[in-house]
């Protein structure tokens, strides 16, 4: 009998359920039903406190198209993993204990960067762990793609499309803030797909003068409205010069709810144009996975399922140059994948006349 644990950790995304479905289907197929699945509730918390539900084949039926996660999720910050919980419980030991008590053979962790750091730690502690690349942010090192990212691009693009009609009617400038944490993958892709005039991402610090210039240039060319896509983590050239401590202090002094508001105010002041803010926020993580996500999630689950039946573990399921790969967890843990400012897409966006606010 093979016993497989699964958990979804960190911010949710659209294709978590689809990935779990693919793992269950693949392992069940290949093991001829000699397998039990244990789904831990609310991420690593379920593993720590022994809270789980058994998953049968029929539990994952229909999950290909269902967003969110049937197991629930939570954020369990890696930096606190070695600190005891409020009752003095050693979290790492507690997770190992649950794994042993249930006589698990493998643990599949569907998670982003922080969660994969913990996955690597547990793997080093002797658990047999397989990581699956979940995050709308697409910032997981070692893989070109994460599940959640394609659906988030679609939703962010739709938000830009929808804003364009009202922006055009009123002849307004719109600042649309897009998620992505410390990286600019979703804003870059959605910005290009949505035909933004300006895209501001953390990897390319901007100068307000350049943003204003781009908006005015568009107006001179006859554009009735302008769309500025700003990543939630976008920074100015001035902020880039600050050290970590100074930057944190500057962020703490901000009075606006997020970057878009301050930017919109400055744009309105400098251009005299009526400027509005739109923030799709968590809708970018919601709803059903799109077709690309369903396919990638199915591939990830199949690779993980096939590997564990064959006794392989200690890796992240990844896609590199279109091929499915297994990358050691130790190689990816703690690293962030940033947008390359010299990448083809950034260069081509510039060629299209999109400003990144840096020149
Ligand atoms: O990591 C996914 C993400 O949606 C980021 O893009 C965003 O910064 C963050 O999570 C929001 O976190 P929360 O759901 O905890 O507000």
Q: Pick the closest to residue 180 from 169, 168, 189 (CA basis).
A: 189
pLDDT digits (tens, 9 = 90+) for 193-210: 999 999 999 999 999 999
The whole-angstrom separation of Cα 6 and Cα 270 is: 52
Backbone angles phi, psi at 40, to 5 degrees: -80, 140
What pLDDT is recorded for position 296?
98
Instruction: Return the SS3 of 230.
Output: strand
Q: Are residues 19 and 116 both part of a single domain?
A: yes
Domain that holds residue 176: 152-285
Q: Are residues 170 and 276 both part of a single domain?
A: yes
Q: Are residues 135 and 233 both part of a single domain?
A: no
17 C-alpha to center of ligand 1: Å? 18
Domain count, the chain: 2
Residue 205 · residue 212 · CB < 8 Å: no
Under 8 Å CB-to-CB from 70, ≥6 apart: which residues? 17, 20, 39, 59, 63
Nearest atom (ligand 1) to Cα of 186: 6
What CATH number does the domain containing 324 carry?
A: 3.40.50.450
Residue 27 · residue 63 · CB < 8 Å: no
What pLDDT is recorded for position 125?
97
Q: Are residues 144 and 255 both part of a single domain?
A: no
Instruction: Return the SS3 of 133.
Output: strand
Residue with CA closest to ligand 1 atom 10: 11
Query: What tens-digit pLDDT sequence spans the chain (359 residues)?
Result: 999 999 999 999 999 999 999 999 999 999 876 999 999 999 999 999 999 999 999 999 999 999 999 999 999 999 999 999 999 999 999 999 999 999 999 999 999 999 999 999 999 999 999 999 999 999 999 999 999 999 999 999 999 999 999 999 999 999 999 999 999 999 999 999 999 999 999 999 999 999 999 999 999 999 999 999 999 999 999 999 999 999 999 999 999 999 999 999 999 999 999 999 999 999 999 999 999 999 999 999 999 999 999 999 999 999 999 999 999 999 999 999 999 999 999 999 999 999 999 99
73 C-alpha to center of ligand 1: Å? 13
Query: Please, what's the largest Cα pairwise distance for the chain?
Result: 71
Residue with CA closest to ligand 1 atom 5: 181
Q: Are residues 40 and 140 both part of a single domain?
A: yes
282 C-alpha to center of ligand 1: Å? 8
What pLDDT is recorded for position 270?
97
> Taking CA 18 as the corner, what is the angle to CA 12 and CA 24, rounded to the nearest 5 degrees?
120
Q: Are residues 163 and 255 both part of a single domain?
A: yes
Q: Are residues 136 and 110 both part of a single domain?
A: yes
Q: Are residues 143 and 25 both part of a single domain?
A: yes
Q: Alpha carbon of 264 to those of 88, 229, 310: distances in Å?
A: 47, 11, 55
What pLDDT is recorded for position 33?
65
Q: Are residues 137 and 168 both part of a single domain?
A: no
Residue with CA closest to ligand 1 atom 14: 11
Residue with CA closest to ligand 1 atom 13: 11
Q: Are residues 247 and 198 both part of a single domain?
A: yes
Q: Are residues 117 and 166 both part of a single domain?
A: no
Helix (H) / strand (E) element for 277: namely strand 275-278
Nearest atom (ligand 1) to Cα of 148: 2
Does a structural domain hold residue 23? yes
Under 8 Å CB-to-CB from 149, ≥6 apart: which residues? 135, 136, 137, 138, 185, 186, 293
Does a structural domain hold residue 342? no
Does a structural domain hold residue 34? yes
Does a structural domain hold residue 219? yes
Ligand 1 neighbour 135 (Cβ under 6 A): yes
Does a structural domain hold residue 278? yes
293 C-alpha to center of ligand 1: Å? 18
Ligand 1 neighbour 179 (Cβ under 6 A): yes
Catalytic residue positions, numbered: 137
């Amino acid at each position: 009998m093979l016993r497989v644990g699964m958990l979804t950790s960190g911010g949710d995304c659209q294709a978590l359920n689809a990935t779990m479905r693919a793992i269950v289907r693949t392992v069940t197929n290949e093991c001829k039903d000699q397998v039990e699945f244990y789904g831990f509730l609310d991420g690593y918390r379920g593993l720590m406190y022994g809270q789980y539900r058994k998953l049968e084949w029929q539990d994952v039926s229909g999950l290909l198209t269902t967003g969110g996660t049937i197991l629930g999720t939570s954020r369990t910050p890696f930096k606190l993993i070695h600190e005891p919980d409020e009752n003095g419980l050693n979290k790492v030991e507690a997770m190992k204990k649950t794994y042993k008590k249930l006589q698990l053979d493998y643990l599949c962790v569907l998670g982003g960067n922080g969660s994969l750091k913990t996955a690597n730690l547990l793997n080093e502690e002797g658990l047999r762990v397989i990581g699956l690349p979940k995050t709308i942010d697409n910032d997981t090192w070692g893989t070109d793609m994460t599940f959640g990212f394609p659906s988030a691009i679609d939703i962010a693009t739709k938000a830009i499309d929808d804003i364009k009609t009202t922006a055009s009617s009123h002849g307004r400038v719109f600042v649309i803030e897009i998620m992505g944490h410390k990286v600019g993958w979703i804003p870059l892709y959605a910005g290009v797909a949505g035909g933004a005039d300006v895209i501001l991402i953390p990897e390319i610090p901007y100068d307000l003068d350049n943003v204003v210039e781009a908006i005015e240039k568009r107006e001179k060319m006859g554009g009735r409205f302008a769309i500025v896509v700003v990543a939630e983590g976008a920074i100015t050239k001035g902020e880039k010069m600050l050290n970590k401590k100074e930057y944190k202090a500057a962020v703490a002094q901000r009075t606006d709810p997020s970057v878009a508001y301050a930017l919109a105010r400055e744009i309105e002041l400098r251009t005299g144009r009526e400027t509005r803010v739109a923030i799709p926020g968590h809708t970018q993580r919601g709803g059903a996975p799109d077709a690309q996500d369903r396919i990638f999630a199915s591939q990830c689950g199949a690779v993980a399922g096939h590997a564990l039946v064959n006794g392989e573990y200690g890796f992240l399921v990844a896609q590199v140059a279109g091929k499915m790969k297994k990358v050691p967890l130790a190689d990816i843990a703690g690293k962030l994948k940033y947008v390359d400012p010299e990448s083809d897409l950034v260069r081509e966006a510039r060629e299209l006349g999109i400003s990144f606010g840096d020149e």
